[in-house]
């Protein structure tokens, strides 16, 4: 498809486990963003990539969260030692230029039991 693709769409894991969430942006989009949306809240910024580098990771809540974008296209958000409070929908967005319109994926719903 032509839009932002996120996998898995749903992930259920146990507390303490490691999780990876994948984002495939729109082809040619150089800017990529991760947001987290908890129940009843708006999306909350996590990290922004311009190309391969993380230009702003100020939203990552702690060192259990890490994201990579090694070839400037697909990005993976990695969460170590998951906690119940990590349960949320993780949204990825991409943009053709910095400051341009964001196109969001459908999100990956993470549930930590």
Residues that bind other proteins in the complex, under the rule CB under 8 A:
4, 31, 33, 35, 40-45, 48, 55-56, 58-59, 91, 93, 98-99, 101-107
Q: Closest CB to other proteins among 20 and 57?
A: 57
Half-sphere exposure of 22 (CA within 13 A, CB side): 7
For the bound state, the minimum distance from the C-beta of residue 48 to other proteins, rounded and expressed in Å, comes to 5
Q: Cα dihedral angle (54, 55, 57, 58), rounded to 10 degrees?
A: 170
78 alpha-carbon distance from chain centroid? 9
* Of 84, 38, 39, residue with least CA distance to 64: 84
Cα dist from 18 to 4, 41, 66, whole Å: 24, 25, 11
Q: How far is the CB of 62 from other proteins (least distance, A)?
A: 18
Closest separation between CB of residue 30 and other proteins, Å? 12
Q: Which is nearer to other proteins, 19 or 91 (CB)?
A: 91
CB of 16 to other proteins, least distance (A): 29
**DSSP code at position 47:** E
- Closer to other proteins by CB, 80 or 98: give it: 98
């Amino acid at each position: 498809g032509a839009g932002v693709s996120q996998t898995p769409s749903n992930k259920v894991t146990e507390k303490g486990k490691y999780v990876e969430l994948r984002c495939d942006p729109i082809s040619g989009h150089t800017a990529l963003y991760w947001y987290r949306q908890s129940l009843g809240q708006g999306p909350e910024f996590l990290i922004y990539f311009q190309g391969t580098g993380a230009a702003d990771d100020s939203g990552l809540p702690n060192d259990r969260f890490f994201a990579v974008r090694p070839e400037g296209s697909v990005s993976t958000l990695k969460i170590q030692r998951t906690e119940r409070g990590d349960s949320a929908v993780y949204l990825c967005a991409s943009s053709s230029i910095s400051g341009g319109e964001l196109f969001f994926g459908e999100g990956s719903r993470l549930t930590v039991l």
